[in-house]
Amino acid sequence: MKLIYIDESGGLKGSFNYFNISLLLLNNTKDLKKLEYSIKRFRKGKYKKKLKNVKEIKAYKSSENLIIDLLKVLNETDFKVYSIFFDNKKIINRNILKKKGVNEVYQSMIFKLLEKVDLDIQAKNEIYLDKFLPRFLEKQFRLNIEKFLDNNHSKVYCVKSEKFIGIQFVDLVSWSSFQYLEKNKQNFLKIIKNKYILFEYQK
Protein backbone atom coordinates (compact mmCIF):
# COMPACT_ATOMS: atom_id res chain seq x y z
CA MET A 1 0.00 0.00 0.00
CA LYS A 2 1.22 3.47 -0.88
CA LEU A 3 0.36 6.55 1.13
CA ILE A 4 -0.09 9.88 -0.60
CA TYR A 5 -0.39 13.26 1.09
CA ILE A 6 -1.26 16.51 -0.69
CA ASP A 7 -1.07 20.13 0.46
CA GLU A 8 -0.61 23.58 -1.05
CA SER A 9 1.11 26.93 -0.50
CA GLY A 10 0.71 30.38 -1.98
CA GLY A 11 -2.55 31.29 -3.65
CA LEU A 12 -4.47 31.57 -6.90
CA LYS A 13 -5.82 34.93 -5.77
CA GLY A 14 -4.42 37.92 -3.94
CA SER A 15 -0.86 39.21 -4.10
CA PHE A 16 0.88 35.86 -4.63
CA ASN A 17 3.04 35.39 -7.71
CA TYR A 18 2.77 31.61 -7.46
CA PHE A 19 0.52 28.84 -6.24
CA ASN A 20 1.91 25.36 -5.77
CA ILE A 21 0.63 21.98 -4.70
CA SER A 22 2.94 19.27 -3.41
CA LEU A 23 2.42 15.52 -3.25
CA LEU A 24 4.34 13.33 -0.82
CA LEU A 25 4.47 9.63 -1.66
CA LEU A 26 5.45 7.13 1.03
CA ASN A 27 5.88 3.56 -0.12
CA ASN A 28 5.05 1.92 3.21
CA THR A 29 3.60 2.52 6.65
CA LYS A 30 6.97 1.83 8.24
CA ASP A 31 8.30 5.16 6.98
CA LEU A 32 5.19 6.95 8.20
CA LYS A 33 5.94 5.61 11.68
CA LYS A 34 9.49 6.99 11.38
CA LEU A 35 8.07 10.43 10.71
CA GLU A 36 5.65 10.15 13.61
CA TYR A 37 8.45 9.06 15.92
CA SER A 38 10.64 11.99 14.85
CA ILE A 39 7.93 14.46 15.89
CA LYS A 40 7.59 12.78 19.28
CA ARG A 41 11.37 12.79 19.69
CA PHE A 42 11.64 16.49 18.88
CA ARG A 43 8.78 17.29 21.26
CA LYS A 44 10.61 15.58 24.11
CA GLY A 45 14.11 16.71 23.21
CA LYS A 46 15.65 19.41 21.05
CA TYR A 47 12.44 21.37 20.43
CA LYS A 48 10.68 20.68 23.71
CA LYS A 49 10.16 24.35 24.57
CA LYS A 50 9.23 25.50 21.07
CA LEU A 51 6.69 22.71 20.57
CA LYS A 52 5.29 22.68 24.09
CA ASN A 53 1.90 24.17 23.19
CA VAL A 54 1.98 23.41 19.46
CA LYS A 55 -0.67 20.90 18.42
CA GLU A 56 0.26 20.88 14.75
CA ILE A 57 3.50 21.68 12.98
CA LYS A 58 2.94 24.26 10.26
CA ALA A 59 5.90 25.48 8.25
CA TYR A 60 4.94 29.16 8.29
CA LYS A 61 4.82 29.09 12.08
CA SER A 62 8.02 27.07 12.55
CA SER A 63 11.66 28.04 12.86
CA GLU A 64 13.96 27.39 9.91
CA ASN A 65 16.04 25.04 12.06
CA LEU A 66 13.02 22.86 12.84
CA ILE A 67 11.99 22.75 9.18
CA ILE A 68 15.50 21.77 8.12
CA ASP A 69 15.73 19.03 10.78
CA LEU A 70 12.36 17.59 9.78
CA LEU A 71 13.26 17.60 6.09
CA LYS A 72 16.44 15.73 6.98
CA VAL A 73 14.31 13.10 8.73
CA LEU A 74 12.07 12.85 5.67
CA ASN A 75 15.13 12.43 3.47
CA GLU A 76 16.02 9.26 5.35
CA THR A 77 12.78 7.53 4.33
CA ASP A 78 11.65 5.85 1.10
CA PHE A 79 9.70 8.73 -0.42
CA LYS A 80 9.16 10.86 -3.50
CA VAL A 81 7.83 14.38 -3.80
CA TYR A 82 6.21 16.06 -6.78
CA SER A 83 5.33 19.76 -6.81
CA ILE A 84 3.33 21.56 -9.47
CA PHE A 85 3.19 25.34 -9.62
CA PHE A 86 0.84 27.85 -11.23
CA ASP A 87 2.43 31.12 -12.37
CA ASN A 88 -0.07 33.89 -11.57
CA LYS A 89 1.99 36.44 -13.49
CA LYS A 90 1.21 34.90 -16.88
CA ILE A 91 -1.74 36.40 -18.74
CA ILE A 92 -2.71 32.99 -20.16
CA ASN A 93 -2.95 31.59 -16.63
CA ARG A 94 -5.04 34.50 -15.40
CA ASN A 95 -7.43 33.85 -18.28
CA ILE A 96 -7.57 30.14 -17.42
CA LEU A 97 -8.34 30.97 -13.80
CA LYS A 98 -11.03 33.45 -14.80
CA LYS A 99 -12.65 30.90 -17.12
CA LYS A 100 -12.40 27.78 -14.96
CA GLY A 101 -12.43 29.12 -11.42
CA VAL A 102 -10.28 28.25 -8.41
CA ASN A 103 -11.76 24.84 -7.60
CA GLU A 104 -11.45 23.50 -11.15
CA VAL A 105 -7.84 24.69 -11.53
CA TYR A 106 -6.99 23.19 -8.13
CA GLN A 107 -8.50 19.86 -9.13
CA SER A 108 -6.75 19.90 -12.52
CA MET A 109 -3.40 20.49 -10.81
CA ILE A 110 -3.95 17.52 -8.52
CA PHE A 111 -4.77 15.29 -11.51
CA LYS A 112 -1.51 16.33 -13.17
CA LEU A 113 0.37 15.52 -9.97
CA LEU A 114 -1.21 12.09 -9.77
CA GLU A 115 -0.21 11.41 -13.38
CA LYS A 116 3.42 11.63 -12.23
CA VAL A 117 2.98 8.94 -9.59
CA ASP A 118 3.60 5.32 -10.52
CA LEU A 119 0.60 3.66 -8.91
CA ASP A 120 -0.32 0.01 -9.25
CA ILE A 121 -4.00 0.08 -10.23
CA GLN A 122 -4.49 -3.29 -8.56
CA ALA A 123 -3.07 -2.10 -5.24
CA LYS A 124 -4.77 -0.26 -2.43
CA ASN A 125 -3.57 3.30 -2.11
CA GLU A 126 -4.65 5.91 0.40
CA ILE A 127 -4.70 9.57 -0.60
CA TYR A 128 -5.04 12.27 2.04
CA LEU A 129 -5.74 15.92 1.30
CA ASP A 130 -5.84 18.76 3.77
CA LYS A 131 -9.51 19.63 4.29
CA PHE A 132 -10.27 22.86 2.44
CA LEU A 133 -13.53 22.46 0.52
CA PRO A 134 -17.06 23.10 1.79
CA ARG A 135 -18.66 19.81 2.81
CA PHE A 136 -21.16 19.85 -0.07
CA LEU A 137 -18.27 19.92 -2.61
CA GLU A 138 -15.94 17.56 -0.77
CA LYS A 139 -17.67 14.28 -1.61
CA GLN A 140 -17.79 14.99 -5.35
CA PHE A 141 -14.16 16.11 -5.29
CA ARG A 142 -13.10 12.80 -3.72
CA LEU A 143 -15.18 10.82 -6.21
CA ASN A 144 -13.63 12.75 -9.12
CA ILE A 145 -10.13 11.79 -7.98
CA GLU A 146 -11.07 8.14 -7.47
CA LYS A 147 -12.62 8.07 -10.94
CA PHE A 148 -9.53 9.72 -12.41
CA LEU A 149 -7.33 7.04 -10.85
CA ASP A 150 -9.51 4.32 -12.36
CA ASN A 151 -8.69 2.19 -9.36
CA ASN A 152 -11.44 0.66 -7.27
CA HIS A 153 -8.96 -0.13 -4.51
CA SER A 154 -7.78 3.42 -3.81
CA LYS A 155 -9.52 5.72 -1.37
CA VAL A 156 -9.37 9.50 -1.05
CA TYR A 157 -9.82 11.31 2.25
CA CYS A 158 -10.13 15.00 3.08
CA VAL A 159 -8.77 15.29 6.61
CA LYS A 160 -7.79 17.75 9.31
CA SER A 161 -4.05 18.18 9.08
CA GLU A 162 -3.41 18.29 12.84
CA LYS A 163 -4.31 14.60 13.05
CA PHE A 164 -2.11 13.41 10.17
CA ILE A 165 1.67 13.65 10.32
CA GLY A 166 1.96 12.96 6.59
CA ILE A 167 -0.02 16.13 5.84
CA GLN A 168 2.26 18.10 8.16
CA PHE A 169 5.34 16.86 6.33
CA VAL A 170 3.96 17.63 2.88
CA ASP A 171 3.09 21.07 4.25
CA LEU A 172 6.81 21.53 4.96
CA VAL A 173 7.64 20.55 1.38
CA SER A 174 4.92 22.73 -0.13
CA TRP A 175 6.07 25.71 1.94
CA SER A 176 9.68 25.04 0.91
CA SER A 177 8.63 24.98 -2.74
CA PHE A 178 6.85 28.28 -2.33
CA GLN A 179 9.91 29.83 -0.69
CA TYR A 180 11.92 28.80 -3.72
CA LEU A 181 9.38 30.06 -6.26
CA GLU A 182 8.45 33.30 -4.55
CA LYS A 183 11.74 34.25 -2.88
CA ASN A 184 14.35 32.06 -4.60
CA LYS A 185 15.28 30.46 -1.26
CA GLN A 186 16.83 27.12 -2.16
CA ASN A 187 18.26 25.88 1.15
CA PHE A 188 15.19 23.83 2.10
CA LEU A 189 14.70 21.98 -1.18
CA LYS A 190 18.39 21.17 -1.41
CA ILE A 191 17.89 18.71 1.44
CA ILE A 192 15.49 16.55 -0.56
CA LYS A 193 16.65 17.43 -4.09
CA ASN A 194 17.40 13.83 -5.10
CA LYS A 195 13.79 12.78 -4.49
CA TYR A 196 12.02 15.96 -5.53
CA ILE A 197 10.50 16.98 -8.88
CA LEU A 198 9.11 20.47 -9.58
CA PHE A 199 7.16 21.23 -12.75
CA GLU A 200 4.90 23.96 -14.06
CA TYR A 201 1.17 23.69 -14.66
CA GLN A 202 0.34 23.78 -18.36
CA LYS A 203 -3.10 23.98 -19.88
Can you tell me the distance from the alpha carbon of 97 to that of 88, in angstroms, rounded to the nearest whole number?
A: 9
Q: In angstroms, rounded to a whole number, what is the distance separating the alpha carbons of residues 61 and 125?
A: 31
Parallel, antiparallel, or unpaired: how do β-strands 2-10 and 18-26 relate?
A: antiparallel
pLDDT of residue 122: 67
Pairing of strands 2-10, 155-159: unpaired
- Give the model's pLDDT for residue 186: 95
Is residue 169 a contact partner of residue 142, using CB atoms and an 8 Å limit?
Answer: no
Tens of pLDDT along 16-31?
A: 999 999 999 998 899 9
pLDDT(119) > 90: no
Is 44 buried (19+), middle (13-18) or exposed (0-12) by CB count in 10 A?
Answer: exposed
- The model carries a pTM of 0.93
Answer with the residue of higher pLDDT: 97 or 150: 97
Q: How far apart are CA 183 and CA 48, in angstroms?
A: 30
pLDDT band at 125 (very low <50, low <70, confident <90, very high): confident
As a whole number of angstroms, the distance between CA 155 and CA 167 comes to: 16
The answer to whether residues 127 and 141 touch, using CB atoms and an 8 Å cutoff, is no
What does the radius of gyration of the chain's CA atoms come to, in whole angstroms? Answer: 17
Contacts 24+ apart (CB under 8 A), 104-109: 105/12, 105/201, 106/8, 106/12, 106/21, 107/141, 107/144, 107/145, 108/201, 109/21, 109/84, 109/201
Cβ atoms of 72 and 43 within 8 Å: the answer is no
Question: What are the angstrom distances between the C-alpha of 101 and each of 82, 96, 97?
Answer: 23, 8, 5
The confidence band for 121, taking pLDDT boundaries of 50, 70 and 90, is low
The full set of domains in the chain, from first to last, is 2-200 (3.30.420.10)
Model confidence pLDDT, tens digit, residues 146-188: 888 876 678 889 998 999 999 999 999 999 999 999 999 999 9
Torsion angle, alpha carbons of 158, 160, 165, 167, to 10: 50
78 vs 195: CA distance, rounded Å: 9
Q: How confident is the model at residue 132 (pLDDT cuts 50, 70, 90)?
A: confident
Q: How far apart are the first and last CA of the chain?
A: 31
pLDDT digits (tens, 9 = 90+) for 59-96: 999 999 999 999 999 999 999 999 999 999 999 999 99
